[in-house]
Amino acid sequence: MAGTEPPGLRQLRPGLAVLELRRTVTEPVASTLAEHRVLVNVGRPYRLVETLGDVLRPTPGAPGDVAVVPAGVPLTAASLDGTPQPLSALLVLLSPDLVAEVLDAAGVSPRSELAGVVGTRSPGVAQLGMLLHAGLADRTGLGRSAVESLGTALAATVVRDHTTTRPPPPAPPPELGRTQLQAVLRLVEEELPGPLPVADLAARAHVSVFHFSRLFRASTGVSPHQYVLDRRLARARELLTGTDLPLAHVAVRCGFADQSHLTRVVRRRLGATPAAVRAAARGR
């Protein structure tokens, strides 16, 4: 941490330190630090008026209330009504380098900034802050290890919940290669009368069944099952309008279980029975 360390400051790891802050506030108290500050009220309610940068806000200071003060931003606190206000808070100091490290690990641009707030409810930060405060009294080796882990978790939670930007949306899933997709589509056309399980399609693309459906959807915009059904319906329509095959034979050639299955799908998708589709194509 930059500058002279105040009495009682406890360094948990490089860039992360904590301090039990106890004071009575009456007249305005102003401060600006080179580190990011997180304050969690671990004591009784207080009534302050706080100015963060250029923003002034009365803060009731309920237990668990949180303030996040970005590095270099001035914070001024004064009693709201002029009476002494006892303040008991856990102060966490985060170096800009540590915040940049957390942002980088989360895939967020290091240029993202902490958003300053005072007197806010931030459940994740408050819970970790309370646990961290309670653990400071344990000076055993395990206690120190627990406190360091809690401090690291609190730093990550502050960055997660109080940054001005969020991680970028997930990249679109990769697609099947052109050769892979063409091989799968050929198999569908060749084996349309058959069952065409997804496992067979995945094997033709030389990828696992687990990944195939996602890759196929990314490549075509539809699931394998929907694509196969669309092709069965298109083939059935060709046979209905271009041949005199009995409906039962059309169903078999297109991979439907039977004539009634064909009828259900055609009626649902085309709004008419197979016989009506055939008749309409012939102008009857």
Q: What is the pLDDT of residues 156-170, one digit of tens each?
A: 999 899 987 655 566
How far is residue 13's CA from residue 239's CA, in Å, rounded to a whole number?
A: 74
pLDDT, one tens digit per residue, over 198-210 is 999 999 999 998 8
pLDDT score for 172: 63
Q: How deeply is 284 buried, as exposed, middle or buried, from its count of CB atoms within 10 A (0-12, 13-18, 19+)?
A: exposed
**The model's pTM:** 0.56
Q: Residue 76's beta-bridge partner residues? A: 30, 51
Closest CA to 154 of 112, 125, 131: 125
Region of residue 191 (phi > 0: left; psi between -120 and 50: alpha; otherwise: beta)? alpha
Residue ranges with strand state E in 95-197: 117-120
- Selection from 67, 76, 59, 205 nearest residue 125 by Cα: 67
Question: How much is the pLDDT for 101?
Answer: 87
Residue identified by tokens 């102008």 is 283
Residue range 8-24, pLDDT digits in tens: 899 999 999 999 999 99
CB 11 within 8 A of CB 17: yes
Strand order in the sheet with 85-94: 10-13, 16-25, 85-94, 36-41, 66-69, 117-120
Helix (H) or strand (E) holding 12: strand 10-13
Domains identified in the chain and CATH numbers: 10-161 (2.60.120.10), 178-281 (1.10.10.60)
Cα separation, 45 vs 25, whole angstroms: 13
Q: What is the pLDDT of residues 75-121, one digit of tens each?
A: 999 988 889 999 999 999 999 998 888 888 877 665 678 899 999 99
* Distance of alpha carbon 34 from alpha carbon 16, whole angstroms: 13
pLDDT band, very low/low/confident/very high, at 58 (cuts 50, 70, 90): confident
Residues 29-59 as b or e (16 or more Cβ within 10 Å = b):
eeeebebbbbbbbbeeebebbbbbeeeeeeb
Residue matched to tokens 């990944």: 211
CA distance 82 to 101: 42
